[in-house]
Structures are given as structure tokens and as C-alpha cells.
Structure 1
């Protein structure tokens, strides 16, 4: 998630995102389907020329023609056994951040060095799975539109259309297990997107599970845990003075009352004030310390997201030769679009109870993994543990009584896990908000075990 919060509603300075465009690239394939008459998929074969990985790759756009929406994607085939390995869709959060951040900074085949050259990642998630990185909603990353999407429900319909056309173009993958993974605001996205997919009984692909890392899913439960995390109860020493911790505690009752009103009404008139008041009261004191909201152990430096190396990714993806090989049609790539972030806030989307969709997924017997790096502040493990423990699904009573077990990678403890049936919570030791960045080897073990069907670790 990004942080750029006004103090009052009157200070919300919103503007519509400008349409992004440039000369149109030549694409190798154009795909359409009678079931989706307003959608078209364009495909390029040339991203492999960039040397990010040696595997088969595709990039291009999903076009929603009657709405002038254009979603960019980049696909990497598995390094292992692509005919049998599963397919993973990866989504970054924000809302408004490009999934190419996940590609180059976290779990993709390569990172980008200071010389703007790719650096091989031996722990890429495409070691044993094919991975799709999708820039959504529109006006994020290489995606563009003259319009704007400002709520999770609308975004889910577009993602379903993308997947239908992708698997139509590449039918060799559509019978393989398919998983959706993501982090941060993907705690909103993924429950809704998966529910949208399950609502289409005629879908042409096999949704097998979902994975949410350090997500925001149940704010009413999670917002109580900012003060404990900042003030020494999450496994790290307190980073605030006692009076600051007390001020955060004092603000919680009103914060929770506002979130509850948002849950009950769904109105932006309830949800927007809840977002502004709670984020200023629960995140503001921490931000003032200058610490990294994504890793309580470090100070914020470099880009808007507190990591200097992210600047190299922006520079790389703005090179004309890179954009040409990928078919990118934007004048300028930005890792995060703060206008999109504020538009979602203005629509009241931030505080809505999307945890209800997780219940729907569990009752449909879809496996759900909630994982959380335990050094993150902004979507911390305490809050994620709490909402998974309180989730009112049919297996709640038995989930509550399950013992916490140690997750080991090799002979070392990598975290703690709790599982019942198709629901798993995993605390990742030493991971910040972006677990694959901080713990690449352990994150790969996590995803490999999960997609292989290991629900208990």
C-alpha cells in the first residue's frame, strides 16, 4: 500500500489521470472471443530479447475497446516443466502500483542493477511455475486509459476477461492448476477477483488457490494492531515514545467506530472519513519517524516506496528499446500512480469488508493462504493473524484450536504456520512487506510447497 493521506476530506485534491499514449507497436497475435465482444488480447513474442530470462515469454495488452482500457501483461514460462507446472497470476497492490515491481524487485526472473542491466534471480517464482504479471487497474504501470477505475469490484471484471482471453490464446496452459497471488492491497483485490472467477461456471481455466501476502483484508480487525506493532509487541523494539503510543491507543475507539459504519453502510460518506482519520491516527506517528513503513528495521530512503533500487526499475522500463520489445504504449512508466491511490480512497474502497469474499472462497473449498512477513508495519503480521483467527467461516472453531507449528526450510526455522482444511496462515520470519525481497529462498519454498498441494507446510 502507498501512503499519501490528507488530514481532511476538503484537502483531497483529486484529478483524473491523463490518457497515456504513444505510437502503436506491432503485435504478433490479436485474440478475440464471441463471449467477450468488447475485449481483445494483443501479444508480442519479443520480450525474450531483453535477456530477463531465457524461457518463453509473451507481453502485450488486454484491450477493452468500448471503454478505452488497455491492460499490460508480461508472461514468463516455467524454468522447469512448463507443460505440467502450474500458472500463477501475480498482482501488486497500492492501489496504483505496477506488478512489474513484483517482477523486478521481488519474485521475478531478474532484478535491475545500478547499470540498468538484468541480474539473474535464482529464487524466481517461475522456477517451478509459469507466472503472469498484470498491471491493473488501468493507468497503472504500462496500462493506460482515458477513464479511471476506482473500486475493486470493477477491477475484478476486467481481470476475469483478461484471463479468459489469455488462456484462449495459450490453450496449452488452461488445463494446468492456476493460482492468484499478490500482496498489500491485493488483500482487497484477490478475494474479489477470485469470487468473480468462481461466478463464471463456463470459465475455461482452473482456479486452484489464492495466496495473499501482507494484505489489507479486514480493516476493522487489522487497524487495532498498528499501535502494538509500532510499540514493541510485534517482535521488534518500540520505535515510538510512550506518549505517541498512547495517542495511537486513544484514537482507536473512534477509528474502529468509523470503520464499522463503513462496513455497515458501504457509503463513501462513511468510508472516506474512516480512511482519513484512521490512517492519520494509526500510521501518521510512525511515518514521522522517517522509518520504512514496509520494514520496521530500516529507515525510508530512495523512492516513494522507501527502496533506492526501485529507481533503477523505473529507469530501465522507460528506455525506448525496452518499451519497443515489450510493446509498451505509454509515454512514461511510473511504478506507482498516486492519483489512482487517491481515487480508490475517494470511492470509499479502502475500508470495505472484502474479508467476506474470503469466507465465500473457503466455503467453495478453494484453498486460501494468508502469509505475512513479520517485520512489516503497514499490513503487519499481528493484524493478519488476528483477522484470520476471527474470520467467521464454517471451519472457524477448528481453525481456532489448531496448534501453531514451526515452518522449516532446510534445517532452519523460517516461520510459524497454522492450518485447518483449506485455510492457512503463515508468519514469515525476517520478512518485511515484500516477503520475496527480504526472504527470497524461503518465499520460493513457500510458494513451491503451496502450489504442490502442501497446505500445512
Structure 2
């Protein structure tokens, strides 16, 4: 629990600054967006919040009020994974009210449509670009652009406090923190900070109710070691190879002894079986990005006119799921879109959905102890797994939950949508719920939006799945 103790010792001076500086944070109400026909049928706000002492790190956010009863419905702060993937991922690919129309690119601006299964129908959601260098968030200094898991969590907590101070009407709303993928390394730390702040009597007194995570990174011992047994269960590798590797590697597939030749050979054989598998969803085709020269030449003038000489997005194969990435990059780099979102001019030269070149150090090895601590405090939690994800397999998630040694209060059973099995669930003591999403991938709502909306709506209203 040493790491957990460290994070509880929040810099008191920094908290005092957050509570009493009363920063003037500008935000903008948006009535319409390029690519969407007509006025937006929901309330959208964007803005920036400085999240470090010097305020040279500016987090950009999208806030959407609940389409139900925003004064009473829960408020959720949503973190996207990566690290370095923009909040637009959650907003348009997963749980937000918009999605891109999947039509072949013809040189015009990609268009948007409503998502009938948006989680904003029952909750107000803040989608934040974090850490610095993600989406439209930026740093005015090189030092501010350097981030670790620790600083990411500190800044995420600071963002929430400042946002609520500037939106005091939401302070009393039931509060949840959510995210997926790598956010599993950040969200539990932030939730513990909130919990400790409440116990210490920090103002504003937040109405924390719980947190939720989808296919979360938690601990490589569980997450990555589970990939080999997952491949075996999914008939990607044969029994003989799995048994041999399990024996030669002793169940450890990430930190192997270089002198263990048999283990290395077995893992190489497994790699040959899995190299053409699409890890985010093993049943979908693996679609590499491509840059057909004729397509680039055909659209080069269009791209230069809108984004400048340096911008040349990766062209994706139409018909593949990752074509969405291409459409998203075209849309978010459009100058009229950035003006409509009130993006500060000159802060981001080229927008990318996932920035893989952050100055980021992963300094938290495991968040299992945070889950244990939060459970001991009775904090509600929903952990869900798309069951066809090989990036963060459900097997690893189930193993770290098992390591908490919690009592089972609701035995393994199916949960239904439209009288069909949407997945399986199990309930644990102190309000921890685990669920699989049948047919879901790494970001389950992207693959099973209807089912995931039903899951979220039931859980957030404290009804059984």
C-alpha cells in the first residue's frame, strides 16, 4: 500500500490554491457543429482549465448536460485511454451523443449523426482531453508537457475541482468517474483522492458515488499474462502449444528468462498464430492503415488548403472499423470545426485522435491496491469487459478482481437486453459489479452500443443488471 499512501499525501498547498484561487475559467456554449445538420438537440459546452500550479498545462473538455434531468441526474467525468487518446473517442466512438456517418470520403467534411444509445440520456458527462498533448489540450512549456501517471492523476483531480468550482450547480449531483483502457491506471487514483478529500472535509464537498471502468489496464501481471490463456480459450492456439508454453514459461509470458530457450520458442510459435489477429476485437479483420498514392494525389490540394502543407492523414481502408479514425482526423483538423469548438488558435498544429508521441512516463505499476481500498470504503464500482478483446482480456480482469478476496453476493449469471443474453455478471461485497459484454471489443460500447447503454443505465440507477 506504499503507492496508495503516497497518493493520499496530496500537496496541501496545491489543494489550497485550487479551493481559494477562484480562477476565471472561460467556457463556451455550442449550438451547432459543422457536419451536423441543424441545431444540436443537447447542451454542449467546451472550454479549457489550467491544471497545474503555473496553469501552463491547459486541459480541453467537452461537457454535455444530461438529456434527462441535469439538476438531479449523475455527473460523470470520463477519461479516454492511450495514454494520449482524445476525448472525441468517447464522445463520437463510444458513449457520447454523436457518431460519424461511415461513408466513403469524397473530399467533403465528414458528417455526424445522433447516437440513440448515448449515455448522456441519463447522465451529464465531462469528456476531458488528458494528459497534456492529448487532443486539444496543450502545455505552454516543455516542462509542462512531461507527464507521468502520478501527475496525470493529480491534474485530473485538479481539473475536476476547478470545473466544479466554475459549475457550482453540479457540486451536489451524484458523482462518478469513468474511463476505459489505460484509464484504468488513472481513474482509481483520482477516485481515492476524491474519497480522501471528502474524509478530510475539503471544500467543495463532493457527492462521490462510485466509478466504472471498461477493459481497464490494471496490472501487467494480470493483464498481459492473460493473453496466452485467452488465445487458447478462443481457439487461436492449440492445446498442445498452450500446455507446452504454460509448462516451459511457468505461466509468466512477459518477463521471461532469456536463457529459457524452450519458453522463447513457444512464445515465438504463439506469436505466429496471433500476429494477424485484430487484438481490439479478435473476430474483426485486421486492417492496417495505408496511404494509396493516387488517393493522396487526388486529395492533396484539399488537404493543403485546410490543414497546411505538413498535414497528411493516414488513409484507411473503407469498410474497416478504423476508417472512423480517418474521418475523425479530417473533421477535427478542419478550421471551421475548431472555430466552432472554440479551440485556441495556434495551440495545436495537427490534431490526432491518439498521440503516441507524448512525453509520458508510466510510474504506477498496479492499481489493484486502489480498488481494494475503495471497496473497503464501500465505493460503488462497475468493471466491465468486452469479451473478445485481446488487448486487455477479460481473464486478466477476472483474476485481479479475484485477488481482492471479496465475498460473492450475486452468483455468475447472464444479463439480458431485449430478452437476449448481452453478457454475464457477478456481484461482490461492498458494491463491486463485474460484467462481460458478449461480442464486445476493447472499447465495448463501440461494438455493442445498445447493450452497454442498458448496462450503464441500470447500474447508474442502482438497479441490477
1:422 matched to 2:431? The reply is: yes
- Structure-1 separation of matches of 2:238 and 2:252: 21
The corresponding residue for 1:45 is 29
- Structure-2 separation of matches of 1:159 and 1:38: 17
CA contact (8 A) 2:280 2:442 kept: yes
- Structure-2 separation of matches of 1:442 and 1:248: 35
The corresponding residue for 2:235 is 237
Q: 1:241 to 1:96 in 2, by over 3 A?
A: farther
C-alpha displacement of 1:370: 0.7
The corresponding residue for 2:134 is 140
- Structure-2 separation of matches of 1:123 and 1:380: 25
The corresponding residue for 2:210 is 209
The corresponding residue for 1:15 is none
The corresponding residue for 2:295 is none
Question: Equivalences for 1:30-429 in 2 at 5 Å?
Answer: 35=19, 37=21, 41-46=25-30, 48-50=32-34, 51=36, 53-63=40-50, 64=52, 66=54, 68-113=56-101, 114=103, 116-145=110-139, 146=142, 147-201=144-198, 202-204=202-204, 205-231=206-232, 233=233, 236-238=234-236, 243=241, 246=244, 250-251=248-249, 253=251, 255=253, 285=271, 289-301=275-287, 303=289, 307-329=322-344, 330-340=348-358, 343-344=360-361, 347-349=362-364, 352-392=365-405, 396=406, 398-399=407-408, 402-420=410-428, 421-429=430-438
Deviations 1:223-268 (A, max 9, x none): 331011112x1xx331679658855874465556689xxxxxxxxx
Gaps of 5+ in 2: 1-15, 104-108, 258-262, 290-313
TM-score (norm: length of structure 1): 0.78
- Structure-2 separation of matches of 1:257 and 1:337: 27
The corresponding residue for 1:14 is none
Gaps of 5+ in 1: 1-31, 260-276
CA contact (8 A) 1:301 1:308 kept: no
After the TM superposition, which of the residue ranges 434-443 and 82-91 deviates more from structure 2?
82-91
Q: 2:442 aligns with which of 433, 445, 454?
A: 433
- Structure-1 separation of matches of 2:356 and 2:24: 28
- Structure-2 separation of matches of 1:387 and 1:425: 12
Deviations 1:57-84 (A, max 9, x none): 1101112461510101000111122122
User: How many residues get paired?
Assistant: 394
Q: Rg bigger for which structure?
A: 2
CA contact (8 A) 1:89 1:181 kept: yes
- Structure-1 separation of matches of 2:367 and 2:457: 27
The corresponding residue for 2:4 is none
CA contact (8 A) 2:33 2:337 kept: no
TM-score (norm: length of structure 2): 0.77
Q: 1:109 to 1:391 in 2, by over 3 A?
A: same
C-alpha displacement of 1:410: 2.4
- Structure-1 separation of matches of 2:398 and 2:268: 18
- Structure-2 separation of matches of 1:218 and 1:209: 21
CA contact (8 A) 2:332 2:338 kept: yes
C-alpha displacement of 1:165: 1.8
C-alpha displacement of 1:39: 6.0
- Structure-2 separation of matches of 1:42 and 1:370: 34
C-alpha displacement of 1:325: 1.6
C-alpha displacement of 1:300: 2.2
C-alpha displacement of 1:307: 1.5
SS of equivalent to 1:59: strand
CA contact (8 A) 2:132 2:147 kept: no
- Structure-1 separation of matches of 2:272 and 2:455: 30
- Structure-1 separation of matches of 2:18 and 2:93: 38
C-alpha displacement of 1:222: 2.9
CA contact (8 A) 2:75 2:123 kept: yes
